[in-house]
Copies of this chain bind each other. A is one copy, B any other.
Amino acid sequence: MTSGSSKGLEGTATPVGFAHHDHGTCVADGLAAAETRCEKKNLRFTPVRRKVLEILLQEHRALGAYTILDRLRDEGFGSQPPVAYRALDFLVAHGLAHKIERLNAFIACAHPGENHAPAFMICRLCDSVAEAHSVVAKGALGTAARAIGFRIERTVVEAEGVCPNCAEKAPEKVSV
């Protein structure tokens, strides 16, 4: 609902967010996938973990831990920081959510189940975030890393800019 754009965009099937889509299925599908995944791996998909993932799935943008905590409180869960951080740690550890380092905030994974190195595009105008598959840095930076003998274990790839929806609405705001 946060994107809320009524613009049609180019009808192309984009590999990542920003595109107009039937958001109703996002939450349901995401929760179902997580449930399946946890069952398969023998992980406990507890109520609070499920709720946090649901909260994240409701938005295609990153939410701070304390924003999540507020919503947990409203739902009758604990109201202290560890409640949110523990659930988030679980989700991140098992690939159901990601942390956006640039924002100190979290977002539901858009490609659960697949083993991936995520890359993100963050709109500075509407705060929406899209996740792309990214062999990217592993390939390009990876070459440089191999050259000097650095062993990459994890990558953070985040692009900040203006999403197609916002660019259309405010083409002038170019400078940073």
Given contacts A152-B121, A167-B149, contact A16 B144 (CB under 8 A): yes
Q: List 13 A-B contacts (CB under 8 A).
A: A9-B149, A10-B149, A14-B148, A16-B144, A121-B150, A124-B153, A130-B150, A134-B140, A136-B137, A141-B159, A145-B161, A150-B164, A156-B158
CA distance A15 to B144 in the complex (A): 8
| Interface of A, helix, strand, loop or mixed by DSSP | mixed
Given contacts A121-B152, A150-B162, A152-B121, contact A157 B144 (CB under 8 A): no
Q: Which residues of B contact A132 (CB under 8 A)?
A: 141, 144
**In the complex, how many residues of chain A place their beta carbon closer than 8 angstroms to a beta carbon of chain B?**
44
